Amino acid sequence: MFRLIDSPLGPLRLQASPRGLSRVEFSGTSTPLEAVGGTDEGGVDKRSADVLDAAQVQLAEYFAGQRRAFELPLDLPETTAFRAAVHAQLAEIGYGETVTYRDVAKMLGRPGATRAVGSACGANPLLIVRPCHRVLRSDGGLGGYAGGVAAKRFLLALEEI
């Protein structure tokens, strides 16, 4: 089940199963949310809708500066062991903190895996919830982000980094 929600960064697409939130991504659509109804819940179980409701509320609180951490059940898609480790490490980066791709590689005991960390961040299915926007290039530059550099800059400013 998925839902499109509005955010200060434009539409976000949330996806959930009965087990938890599985994806937060920039929708890339230019269609106004009102035109598509904002949700696609066609009779799929209530637990998935509850997860989406909670995610929508918590994201709104985050964007309003009232939430620093997310408390949502997650249903992570299958991935490689390395990417799963990177994504788990992202969850450990505190609100208002930044690290570099190299730092994450070192934290994982793989100091030579800087580019692989960058690739894993790029494959992060839970943008914002698993905060890959807090990971910078080794020179302190913003680097890539699924929502673009402007979105990354916005999120970092929101957290006053």
Q: Active-site positions? A: 132
Q: Which of 90-117 are b and which e, b meaning 16 or more Cβ less than 10 Å from the residue's Cβ?
A: beebeeeebbbbbbbbbbbeeeebbebb
* Euclidean distance between CA atoms 96 and 134, whole angstroms: 8
| Per-state percent for the chain, helix, strand, coil, to nearest 5 | 40, 15, 45
Which among 105, 160, 93, 157 is positioned nearest to 130, based on CA atoms? Answer: 93
* Euclidean distance between CA atoms 67 and 59, whole angstroms: 8
DSSP 47-58: HHHHHHHHHHHH
Helix axes 81-90, 114-122, angle to 10 degrees: 80
Beta-bridged to residue 40, according to DSSP, are: 2
